[in-house]
Structure 1
Amino acid sequence: MTAFLDNTLSGLALGAVYALVALGFVVIFKASGVLNFAQGSLLLFGGYLVAVLHDDLGFAGALAVAVLTTGLLAGAVDRLLLQRGGPDPAAAPVQTIVTIGVDIVLVTELSRRIGGDLLSLGDPWGDAVTEVGPVTVADSRIAAISVSAVVIAAVFALFRFTPWGLSLRAAAEDTEAAALMGVRLSRVRMLAWCLAGALAALAAVFLAAFPAPGLERTTGQIALKAFPAAILGGMASPAGALAGSLVIGLTEAFVAGYQSDLHVLGEGVGDVAPYAVMIAVLLVRPTGLFGAKGAVRV
């Protein structure tokens, strides 16, 4: 029972962090139709900034600078590289390919700077743990669940109650109609990219925190596990991204926790488990858990 509770808390913490990254995928897709494969490198960039700045600025100051800078970098990628000819939904497939190039450039440079080092982000939780009933939980996991819950709630409120959120939903529903109604599509999608970058930088803190050894050059690859979470939820659904992230996080935690009982499936089953779950769900619901079927007029 203790192992079950421990795996459940670990899965919820991991799912909460994945939700931050998955929301980035979703908000960009809703605003522009682009699958941002540079999300992992943006996460690594944000984490790297926290690692190199926390000695001078403190953890909170370094995190604030990293979130702001990563958001601005993501917005600049969209504005300067993807929107040079204006917001064109038909160009989304080409722009998706461009994000792969951006990812390669960022990862190459950051890998050169990090090398084989493990960088500490100076987070205040360290390796402290708290006993919750029969389970011993790392404070970093409690912080991940708490902070992610607050941030995700704020993002959902942003979608629901702000003019930008209304414009984003209108653009996702019908781009041409939104433009005719005065929605500035270029501004809406650039702000979506800024938000996605900021969320990625925040997620980096928890992915590199204890019990992880620290930030390394492969940390950005972990963020790609949030991609099947976004697909699982329906890609254009923020609520689906949250649900999909929790499913993926719990799956990964339980597979890792019961690895000894699953040895017949191979040692790497934990790495492919999120994608196996995604494929299994898509076989039943091709549009994802919260995806809507498109109506076709004949």
Structure 2
Amino acid sequence: MNQFAQAILNGFSQGAIYALLALGYVMIYKATHVISFAQPALMVCGGLFSYHLTAQIGLPFWPGLLLAMILGALLGMAVERLALRPMVGKPVFTLAIITIGVDIVLRIAANRYMGANPRIVTFPDGSRQYEFLGLSITHQRVALIAVTAITVVALVMFFRYAKAGLAMRATALNQETALAQGIRVGAIFALAWAIAGGLATIAGTFVAAGSAGMEQNTWIIALKALPAIIIGGLDSLPGAVIGGLAVGIVESLTAVYQPDVAPFLGANFALVAPYALMFLVLLVRPYGLFGTREVERV
């Protein structure tokens, strides 16, 4: 029983990273109706921003994270302004392909900075263990869960009470109507990318603060947020959180039990488990658990 509960706890903490990344995907999709494949690069760059500010410049972890979030937000805005704004009006598929190109360019630049050595962000007292009910969790993972919860609450408050949040909700519903109401849709697009860049920076920082640090293949972690947004629904912020946590828990449980229960599936089936879960959800709910059902007349 303790093994099962420990796997759930580990998966929940890992799912917090997927949830942060999934929120970034959803933010961009809600505002622009484009699935951004640049999130892996934004995550890597955000983690490297934190590494440079803390390890190279010497800032403490939390001020370094805050400044890195600002840099990540500026990077997201720059990507939107330079790569996507000139393509407004083009097919959504074209814009999605452009985000793939942006991801490749940014990751090449990040890899040249990293080199062959992992870049590790030192979290203050991060290896300290908390023990309760026979379970254990590190101080770093407790902080990750707390930061994710605070971020989700802040986004909820932003969309409910902030003027910019209300404008973003209006733009997500109908861009033409939002323009008619005097909303600067271009500014909303930039804001969505800025928020996505900040969220990716938080995720990248805590990935870099893990035991493996930030390596040249760490960007693959961000791809696991894609099943999360499909499971939760492409346009649902609560769905992104629930989908991210579900992916983390399923991945953790699979890693613990699959080698004994179904060894014929292979040693690394845990990497495939999130996509298998996505397939099962889509069979039942094609728009995700919380996605908006689209009805078209033909």
Specify the TM-score bucket, using the shorter chain as the normaliser. over 0.9
**Residues 235-274 of structure 1: matches in 2 within 5 Å?**
235-261=234-260, 262-274=262-274
RMSD: 1.4
Q: Distance in 2 between matches of 1:297 and 1:69?
A: 44
- 1:196 aligned partner: 196
Residue by residue, what CA displacement relative to the aligned partner does 1:195-227 show, whole Å, maximum 9, x if unpaired? 0000000011222333x3211122221011011
> Matches of 1:41 and 1:296 in 2, distance apart?
35
Structure-1-length-normalised TM-score? 0.95
Please give the per-residue CA displacement for 1:233-255, whole angstroms capped at 9, x wherever unaligned: 11011111111111111101111
The 5 Å alignment of 1:113-152 reads 113-152=113-152
The equivalent of 1:295 in structure 2 is 295
Q: Distance in 2 between matches of 1:147 and 1:289?
A: 25
Partner of 1:100: 100
Local SS of the residue matching 2:124: coil
Give the superposition deviation at 1:29: 0.3
Distance in 2 (alpha carbons) for counterparts of 1:57 and 1:235: 37
Equivalent position amino acid for 1:207 in 2: V
Deviations 1:87-146 (A, max 9, x none): 43x543211111111111111121122122121202114322110221121112111111
Structure 2 CA distance for aligned equivalents of residues 134 and 97 of structure 1: 48
The amino acid of 2:134's aligned partner reads P
Q: Secondary structure at the match of 1:241?
A: helix
1:75 and 1:125 map into 2 onto residues whose CA distance is 33
What letter is aligned with 2:115? Answer: G
Per-residue CA distance 1:241-273 (angstroms, 9 max, x = gap): 111111111101111122431322101201111
Structure 1 counterpart of 2:28: 28
Q: TM-score, normalised to structure 2's length?
A: 0.95
Distance of 2:141 and 2:63 partners within structure 1: 21
Letter in 2 for 1:196: A
Distance 1:170 1:286, change over 3 A: same
Letter in structure 1 aligned against 2:205: V
Match among 49, 62, 65 for residue 64 of structure 2 = 62
Please give the alpha-carbon distance, in whole angstroms, between the structure 2 residues aligned to 1:125 and 1:155: 28
Name the residue aligned to 1:84: 86
Amino acid at match of 2:259: S
How far apart, CA to CA, are the structure 1 residues paired with 2:205 and 2:178?
A: 36
Instruction: Please state whether the residue corresponding to 2:224 is helix, strand or coil.
Output: helix
Amino acid at match of 1:12: F
d(CA) in 1 for partners of 2:132 and 2:209? 19
Residue equivalent to 2:180: 180
What's the secondary structure of 1:123's corresponding residue?
coil
| SS of aligned partner of 1:57 | coil
Instruction: Tell me if the contact between 2:259 and 2:266 (Cα under 8 Å) persists in the aligned partners.
Output: no
Deviation at 1:297, TM superposition (A): 4.3
Q: 2 CA distance for matches of 1:64 and 1:73? A: 14
Matched, 1:216 2:215: yes
Q: Structure 1 residue runs of 4+, over 3 Å off? A: none
- Corresponding pairs, count: 295
Output the CA distance in 1 between the equivalents of 2:264 and 2:209: 31
Separation in 2 of the partners of 1:125 and 1:106?
31
Higher deviation after alignment, 232-241 or 48-57: 48-57
- One-letter identity of the residue aligned with 1:242: V
Match of 2:73 in 1: 71
Structure 1 runs not aligned, ≥5 long: none
